Structure 1
Amino acid sequence: MIKAQKLLDDTASISENNPEIIITKALLKRAYIALGIKKYGMSISGKISKLYSKALQIARKNSRVILGNSK
């Protein structure tokens, strides 16, 4: 997961406001929660909702953004 985070960070530096990259970051953070909900749940859940809100502002009609925001 560390390699995935590094690749996402590198990609985000190239294209900051790409909703697909933002969604992928949120999915990676959900994977961290799945690994240890007691350890990561409260600290990461707020970050996930912020990522989906940012993606929703950029691409309101993107189906993946809408689906991820509804979870």
Structure 2
Amino acid sequence: MVDAMKLARAEPEHLPASATVEAAEVYAMLDSLGDVGGALNSGNPDRLAKLYGDLHLEMLYDNEKEALDVRTSFRSG
């Protein structure tokens, strides 16, 4: 467990420098996703898979803790 915590703390040091994203860029990214609410409410696995892919979601379920770890990263370009 300690090794995992050390790795997690060191992770930001190895990430590329982030760029500032303007509000207009964020809105444009969100608009490009389309009907997010409709996709979530439909329960359609194909639509959900596309949405999760478009959001660059990574999900890891911990069965013992009954917890879901979700990460996302928007990369422009």
More strand by share: 2
Q: Normalised by the size of structure 2, how large is the TM-score?
A: 0.29
Larger RCO, structures 1/2 (Cα 8 Å, 6+ apart): 1
Of structures 1 and 2, the larger Rg is shown by 2
Q: Normalised by the size of structure 1, how large is the TM-score?
A: 0.31
